[in-house]
Amino acid sequence: MQSSLSLSLTIPRPNHAALARDSPFAKISHSTKPINLRFCGLRREALGFSSPILTRRVHLHSSRATQLVSASLSNNGSAPKSFDYDLLIIGAGVGGHGAALHAVEKGLKTAIVEGDVVGGTCVNRGCVPSKALLAVSGRMRELQNEHHLKALGLQVSAAGYDRQGVADHANNLASKIRNNLTNSMKAIGVDILTGFGSVLGPQKVKVGSDKVVTAKNIIIATGSVPFVPKGIEVDGKTVITSDHALKLESVPDWIAIVGSGYIGLEFSDVYTALGSEVTFIEALDQLMPGFDPEIGKLAQRVLINPRKIDYHTGVFATKITPAKDGKPVIIELIDAKTKEPKDTLEVDAALIATGRAPFTQGLGLENINVATQRGFVPVDERMRVIDADGKLVPHLYCIGDANGKMMLAHAASAQGISVVEQVTGRDHVLNHLSIPAACFTHPEISMVGLTEPQAREKAEKEGFEVSIAKTSFKANTKALAENEGEGIAKDIKLAVHAHPTLSEVLDELFKSAKVKAHVSSPVSEPVAV
């Protein structure tokens, strides 16, 4: 029997006081976060495959869509007999936004409730500002790499940056995308209702303190907030989460990053490019435990070892005290296995990147007999909410980070689109294994599907063989022209690639694969209704 790398990490209760300050709506609950492991390819650019999530959409005529919605509804219990909206979405993050646009396209009268600003985590505190900072770190890295520049025949005398200018770039980009999102919804007639949304009963939602809205279908899309383990005191200045780090109010000389997942890695890229020294603190035995082990090793060689980064693995940060009265940030570490005290670090700052917790507090789920599981809203494969007795709650769905299936922006919006397909009469199940992910370090790491150990474990159970195909960027013309031949790709089949691009490396991979292609799209075959 092959051993499995399917890791599951139990995380202690978060620091409620810190979260109350940091999150838009205060407090958060306990979380156990499964770590996703997928096949990976390490490269400077994303590998160039995209998920054909929308390719099999069935476009229904608006009136037909409305008929189907009405036909599929059964007015149970205290549900209202007529509705203000066909669809009401709680949370205007990327998941809610994607669902809202698709719903209007399908002819549904749609409203979205937002208690903070439109755009949610991704636009305001996640993907967008972090990628703006990573665009800066990528260029800084190129300018700083004298050896690389010389190989291209270039000379640069000095590379410097203006911290405020970099911070403004990230902030301005977030504002721009936030406005785009807001305008795109207003332009097509989505009602944006401002206020905190909570479920009052079946098909009934309270918005703010006194408004009550009814809807045939409701989607919960309330997202997540940074998870801060107990004992860690976040002051927002010297002990920070990604919410603070993205504002780039300072660039510390020495920063400890607790957690070497996506957030930890991406920020290590930013901080080291801007001149910080980084110390990783990782609870598991290796850095980047969520990645395919071979890719993890390569990433260690390329992203960690050559940089001003050191690390402690197999240790938990149990207590972190912010800098005060001239004293540095103090981090107490214990051995993750024996729980014995291991070390104490004194650093200028600490970034807590230990995962995200669902934001589902105050949603009124108890009013409809729904109990969250470690804060996540339980859903089936169609994002339909499951109640405390294991039954599906009619007309209620949950998408995105709040259901914990896959904490990625494009997964949230794909789930939203999937739900809209269902409420307009088309059965639709997303295949999450076909949804790619990318870590936007320099070079980047992208992945889709199972990791090698996961594939081997599945093969052992289900009785098939695993064939590993692997290719390198060392012979790729585009990579060599960029003087960036470091990197590999493992497994993916059937795609046509533009020339000259880095993704041509995949063609090589496919040619060398011994297995027959198993092509699966992110959507299941449609079921006629």
Ligand X SMILES: NC(=O)c1ccc[n+]([C@@H]2O[C@H](COP(=O)([O-])OP(=O)(O)OC[C@H]3O[C@@H](n4cnc5c(N)ncnc54)[C@H](O)[C@@H]3O)[C@@H](O)[C@H]2O)c1
Burial class (CB in 10 A: 0-12, 13-18, 19+), 306: exposed
Q: How far is the CB of 479 from ligand X (least distance, A)?
A: 22
| Among 14, 41, 93, 436, contact with ligand FAD (rule: CB under 6 A) | 93
C-beta of 205 vs 350, nearer to ligand X: 350
Is 283 a binding residue for ligand X by CB under 6 A? The answer is: yes
Is 19 a binding residue for ligand X by CB under 6 A? The answer is: no
Residue 138 exposure: Cα atoms within 13 Å on the Cβ side: 14
Is 372 a binding residue for ligand FAD by CB under 6 A? The answer is: no
| Among 22, 31, 33, 221, contact with ligand X (rule: CB under 6 A) | 33
Tokens of 481: 């022209």
Task: Look up 499 and say whether it is catalytic.
Answer: yes
319-348 binders of ligand X (CB under 6 A): none
Q: d(Cα 7, Cα 338) in Å, to the nearest integer?
A: 18
Among 520, 1, 464, 39, residue whose Cα is nearest residue 294? 39
How big is the chain, counted in residues?
529
C-beta of 407 vs 455, nearer to ligand FAD: 407
Q: How far is the CB of 74 from ligand FAD (least distance, A)?
A: 26
Closest-approach residue to ligand X (CB)? 261
Cα distances from 251 to residues 244, 267, 271, 379, 471, in angstroms, run 12, 11, 7, 41, 38
E strand or H helix at 272: helix 262-273
C-beta of 254 vs 262, nearer to ligand X: 262
Q: How far is the CB of 30 from ligand FAD (least distance, A)?
A: 18
DSSP state of 303: I
Q: How far is the CB of 377 from ligand FAD (least distance, A)?
A: 11
| Tokens 């970099």 sit on residue | 166
| Among 282, 292, 457, 508, contact with ligand X (rule: CB under 6 A) | 282
- Classified as helix, coil or strand, 135 is helix
Cα distances from 37 to residues 5, 130, 184, 406, 436, in angstroms, run 8, 22, 35, 11, 11
CA angle 433, 263, 294 (to 5 degrees): 55
| Catalytic-labelled residue, pool 30, 59, 442, 499 | 499
Contact 265, 134 (CB under 8 A): no
| Among 98, 115, 119, 264, contact with ligand X (rule: CB under 6 A) | 264
259 binds, among ligand X, ligand FAD, none (CB under 5 to 8 A by kind): ligand X
| Among 401, 457, 484, 504, contact with ligand FAD (rule: CB under 6 A) | 401
Q: d(Cα 110, Cα 107) in Å, to the nearest integer?
A: 9
Site string for ligand FAD, 432-471 (x = CB under 6 A): --------x-------------------------------
439 binds, among ligand X, ligand FAD, none (CB under 5 to 8 A by kind): ligand X
The full 3-state SS of 377-440, as one line of letters, equals CCECCCCEEECCCCCEEEEEEECHHHHCCCCCHHHHHHHHHHHHHHHCCCECCECHHHCCEEEC
63-92 binders of ligand FAD (CB under 6 A): 90-92
- Please enumerate in sequence order all residues whose Cβ is within 8 A of that of 350, keeping only pairs 6 or more positions apart, or say none: 238, 239, 240, 255, 256, 257, 258, 317, 320, 329, 331
367-426 binders of ligand X (CB under 6 A): 407-408
Q: d(Cα 173, Cα 47) in Å, to the nearest integer?
A: 24
Is 93 a binding residue for ligand X by CB under 6 A? The answer is: no
| Among 42, 385, 409, 502, contact with ligand FAD (rule: CB under 6 A) | 409
Please report, in angstroms and rounded to a whole number, the separation of the first and last CA atoms in the chain. 43
Q: d(Cα 163, Cα 252) in Å, to the nearest integer?
A: 11
Q: d(Cα 376, Cα 246) in Å, to the nearest integer?
A: 25
Q: How far is the CB of 202 from ligand FAD (least distance, A)?
A: 17
C-beta of 451 vs 471, nearer to ligand X: 451
Site string for ligand FAD, 242-261 (x = CB under 6 A): x-------------------
Which long-range contacts link 460-463 to residues 24+ away (Cβ below 8 Å)? 460/1, 460/2
Is 267 a binding residue for ligand X by CB under 6 A? The answer is: no
Q: How far is the CB of 283 from ligand FAD (least distance, A)?
A: 19
Q: How far is the CB of 81 from ligand FAD (least distance, A)?
A: 25
Residue ranges of the alpha helices (H) in 88-238?
A: 94-105, 120, 127-144, 146-151, 163-188
Is 222 a binding residue for ligand FAD by CB under 6 A? The answer is: yes
C-beta of 257 vs 469, nearer to ligand FAD: 257
Neighbour tally for 55: CB within 10 Å: 9
Q: How far is the CB of 520 from ligand FAD (least distance, A)?
A: 20
114-173 binders of ligand FAD (CB under 6 A): 114-116, 120-122, 125-127, 130-131
Is 261 a binding residue for ligand X by CB under 6 A? The answer is: yes
Site string for ligand X, 348-367 (x = CB under 6 A): -----xxxx-----------
Q: How far is the CB of 135 from ligand FAD (least distance, A)?
A: 12
Q: Which of the residues are catalytic?
A: 499
- Chain residues that interact with ligand FAD, rule: CB under 6 A: 24-25, 90-96, 113-116, 120-122, 125-127, 130-131, 196-197, 221-224, 242, 263, 359, 363, 400-402, 407-410, 412, 440
- Which residues lie near ligand X (CB under 6 A)? 9, 11, 33, 35, 229, 258-264, 266, 281-284, 289-290, 316-317, 353-356, 407-408, 437-440
